[in-house]
Structure 1
C-alpha cells in the first residue's frame, strides 16, 4: 500500500509552520546541550569524547569533500596567471630595473660607510684631535706625489699635520689655506720621515723617491731589519706622534730596504688629519701644577727621640741667631775712631809761610825792640 493510500493522504502541513517548528526544536536542543555541557575535575568537557569521535569520523570525509574546492582554486589561479603572464612580466621587469639602481646605490653607500667606520675607529695614544676630509684633486708626476684636501685652517689644520686613512699614515700637510690644504704623500721625493722598526726598535729614515715604495736609509744596527717587519713612526723630532702604522719592510730589487705602505692598499680619497703640532699639546698644565700625590712626598711622623732632636736643633739655631743680632747691635752703637793725621812725604818738603815785618802806622808808636826777621826758606829744588 502506498503512503498516499493511508489515513494521512489528506493531511496538509503549511511550510512556514514546519520551518518554524524545526527552528524552535533546534534552538531548544542547542540550549539543552549548552546547559548540560559541564566541566569535569580535569577541565574536560562532558562531550569531549563524543566530539572527538565525531571529528575522527568526519575528518577524512571533510578532506575528501574539500579536495575539489582546492583543485578548482588552483586551476583558476593557473589559468588566470597564464592569461595575465605578459602584463605580469612587464611589471616585474620594471620593478627589477628600479631595484637595480637602488642596489647599486646601496652597495656604494655600504662601501663608503665601511670606510667611514674604519676611519672612526682610528685612535691615537695619547688622544689627539682629528678632522675628516676628502681628496678633491690629485697631482702625480715622475717624482711628485701630492693631493688637495677640502679642509684647511678654518678646521684647525696647520702645516706639518700628519694625514691618515683607515689603513695607516698617508702623508703630511705642506700648505694650508682657509678651506683647502695640500698634502705631500710619503712617496714624494720631498718626504723625509723618521721611523722605527717595531721588532727591534731600531731607528731609520724613510725617504720617498717617486716610486710606490719609499726607501729605508740610515738604518741603525746590523740585522735590525728583516722582511715583514712592521714600520711605525718613531716620533723623533716631535713632528708626529710615535706608533702610527706605516707599512712593512721588504727587500728591493736593487738590494735596498723598501717599505710597502699600508695606505696603498686602497684608494686615498677619505682621510683624517691629525691636529698635532708638538708634544707640548699632549701635556695638561693643570696636572703638572697639581699637588703631589699623597704618600709619595709626605714625610712620616717623627718619634719622640727625633722630635726632641729636632727641637734641640731649632733652639740652637734660634740662640745663634739672637747672639749674632746682639753683636750686630753692639757694633752699630760703638763710637767711630778718630782718623790719624796724614804724614807728609819725605821727598816733598812742605813750604813754611814767610813772616813779613809789620809796618808801623802813624797812630801807633814804634816798638822799642824790633822782632828778629826770619830768613827766607830755601827755594824748592835748591841743594
Structure 2
C-alpha cells in the first residue's frame, strides 16, 4: 500500500513549520547537553551516568548492525581471493623456484658443518697433533684404492702418518709433496696394519685385498676372534698409535676372518691426518724427572752430614797426594848419601831409585 493510500494522505504539514520544530528540538537538546557538561568536585564529568546508560543500550544494537558489515567484508575477500588465485599461485611458484637453490645449499652446508664438528671433536689419548684435510681426487681399480688430500709436507705431513675420519682409521700417507699427499686406504693390496682384538688383546695383521672388507691374518691364539669383536690398532712397530677404532670382525664367505670398516659408514671426503712420528713424541721428558720417577733417572741429593763426610775424605786424599808428590820431588833433588839410609815404609813414601856406592880410595902403603 502506497503512502498516499494511507490515513495520512490528506495530512499536509507546512515545510517551514517542520524545519522550525526540528531546529527548536535540536537547540533544546544542545542546551541540555551544555547544562549537563559540568565538572564534579572530584573532576569527573556530570553526564558520565547518561553516557554509560546510552552505551549499555546501544552496545548490543551496534554489534548486531556491524555483523552484516563484517560478513560482507569476508565475502568480498573470499571472492577477491578466488578471482586472484591464479596470479597468486604463479607468484608463489616463482618464489619457490628462487628459494630452491638456497635450500639445497643450506642443507649441504649443514651436513658439512656436522662433519667438521664431528672431526673437531676427535681426541686421542695421549694427544697427537692433527690436521684437517679434504679429499680432492681418488684412484680406484681392481687392486688400487687411494686418495689425494689437500695437505702436504708444508704443514708437517710425513710418509706413514695415519689418516682417520669421524668413524675410525681410513688409511696411511704413502706420498707427500708440498701441498698434496697421497693416502692409501685400508682396502688397498699394499696396506698392512698391525691390529688387536679388543676383547682378547690378540694380535693380528689387517691385510687389504682390494675388496671392501680387508682380511685378518696371522691371528694369535685359538678362538681369540669372534664375530662382532672390535678391532683396534695395536701400535706394534711404532707406525700407529694404539687404540684407533678400525672395524668389527666378521666371518667371510671364504671362511677367513674379515673386518667391516667403521670408515665405510660415511663418505671419505673430510679426514684428519695424525702427525704421528714415534712414541717418543707422546712422552714429555719432564714427566720422567718428576716424582716418584726422579730417583730412577737422577741420584738423590746427599744430606748435609754425608756432604761433610764426602768433603773431608776428598780433602784428606788430596793432602796425602800432595805430600807424597812433595816427598818424591825432595828425594829426587837430594845428593847421593855416603851411607845407607834407613828404608822407608812403602806405604808412606815411594822407594828412591838405587844408588851406586863409589869405589873406596886406596890406603897408604898399598893396603886395601
Corresponding residue for residue 100 of structure 2: 100
- 1:81-135 deviation per Cα after TM superposition (whole angstroms, max 9, x unaligned): 1221111111122122223332222222222222222222222222222222222
Corresponding residue for residue 71 of structure 1: 71
Q: Give the TM-score taking structure 2 as reference length.
A: 0.72
- 1:255-311 deviation per Cα after TM superposition (whole angstroms, max 9, x unaligned): 2111100111121112122222222333345x358x644997698998xxx96x986
Cα separation, partners in 2 of 1:155 and 1:94, compared to 1, 3 Å: same
Corresponding residue for residue 265 of structure 1: 265
In the alignment, the residues of structure 2 paired with residue 129 and residue 198 of structure 1 have an alpha-carbon distance, to the nearest angstrom, of: 25
Instruction: Establish whether residue 330 from structure 1 lines up as the match of residue 346 from structure 2.
Output: no
Q: CA deviation at 1:76?
A: 0.9
Please, what is the CA RMSD of the aligned residues?
4.1
In the alignment, the residues of structure 2 paired with residue 311 and residue 125 of structure 1 have an alpha-carbon distance, to the nearest angstrom, of: 48
Instruction: Establish whether residue 91 from structure 1 lines up as the match of residue 91 from structure 2.
Output: yes
Corresponding residue for residue 159 of structure 1: 159
3-state SS of paired residue (1:334): helix
In the alignment, the residues of structure 1 paired with residue 251 and residue 270 of structure 2 have an alpha-carbon distance, to the nearest angstrom, of: 30
Gaps of 5+ in 2: 1-10, 333-351, 358-368
Cα separation, partners in 2 of 1:292 and 1:154, compared to 1, 3 Å: closer
In the alignment, the residues of structure 1 paired with residue 231 and residue 356 of structure 2 have an alpha-carbon distance, to the nearest angstrom, of: 88
In the alignment, the residues of structure 2 paired with residue 280 and residue 258 of structure 1 have an alpha-carbon distance, to the nearest angstrom, of: 32
Corresponding residue for residue 36 of structure 1: 44
Corresponding residue for residue 225 of structure 1: 225
In the alignment, the residues of structure 1 paired with residue 56 and residue 152 of structure 2 have an alpha-carbon distance, to the nearest angstrom, of: 83
In the alignment, the residues of structure 1 paired with residue 231 and residue 264 of structure 2 have an alpha-carbon distance, to the nearest angstrom, of: 14
Corresponding residue for residue 338 of structure 2: none
Q: Which has the larger radius of gyration?
A: 1
In the alignment, the residues of structure 2 paired with residue 89 and residue 11 of structure 1 have an alpha-carbon distance, to the nearest angstrom, of: 59
Q: CA deviation at 1:210?
A: 0.9
Q: CA deviation at 1:213?
A: 0.7
Cα separation, partners in 2 of 1:54 and 1:185, compared to 1, 3 Å: farther
Cα separation, partners in 2 of 1:196 and 1:301, compared to 1, 3 Å: same
Cα separation, partners in 2 of 1:243 and 1:292, compared to 1, 3 Å: closer
Cα separation, partners in 2 of 1:271 and 1:22, compared to 1, 3 Å: same
In the alignment, the residues of structure 2 paired with residue 10 and residue 63 of structure 1 have an alpha-carbon distance, to the nearest angstrom, of: 33
Q: CA deviation at 1:207?
A: 0.7
3-state SS of paired residue (1:263): helix
Q: CA deviation at 1:178?
A: 1.9
3-state SS of paired residue (1:36): coil
Cα separation, partners in 2 of 1:223 and 1:77, compared to 1, 3 Å: same
Cα separation, partners in 2 of 1:325 and 1:20, compared to 1, 3 Å: farther
Corresponding residue for residue 142 of structure 1: 142
Cα separation, partners in 2 of 1:204 and 1:100, compared to 1, 3 Å: same
Cα separation, partners in 2 of 1:83 and 1:162, compared to 1, 3 Å: same
3-state SS of paired residue (2:98): helix
Corresponding residue for residue 123 of structure 1: 123
Corresponding residue for residue 168 of structure 2: 168
In the alignment, the residues of structure 2 paired with residue 249 and residue 273 of structure 1 have an alpha-carbon distance, to the nearest angstrom, of: 25
Aligned positions of 1:360-371 closer than 5 A = none
Corresponding residue for residue 239 of structure 1: 239
Corresponding residue for residue 275 of structure 2: 275
Gaps of 5+ in 1: 38-46, 342-383
Count of aligned pairs: 320
Q: Give the TM-score taking structure 1 as reference length.
A: 0.70
Cα separation, partners in 2 of 1:182 and 1:327, compared to 1, 3 Å: same
Corresponding residue for residue 347 of structure 1: none
Q: CA deviation at 1:248?
A: 0.8
3-state SS of paired residue (2:124): coil
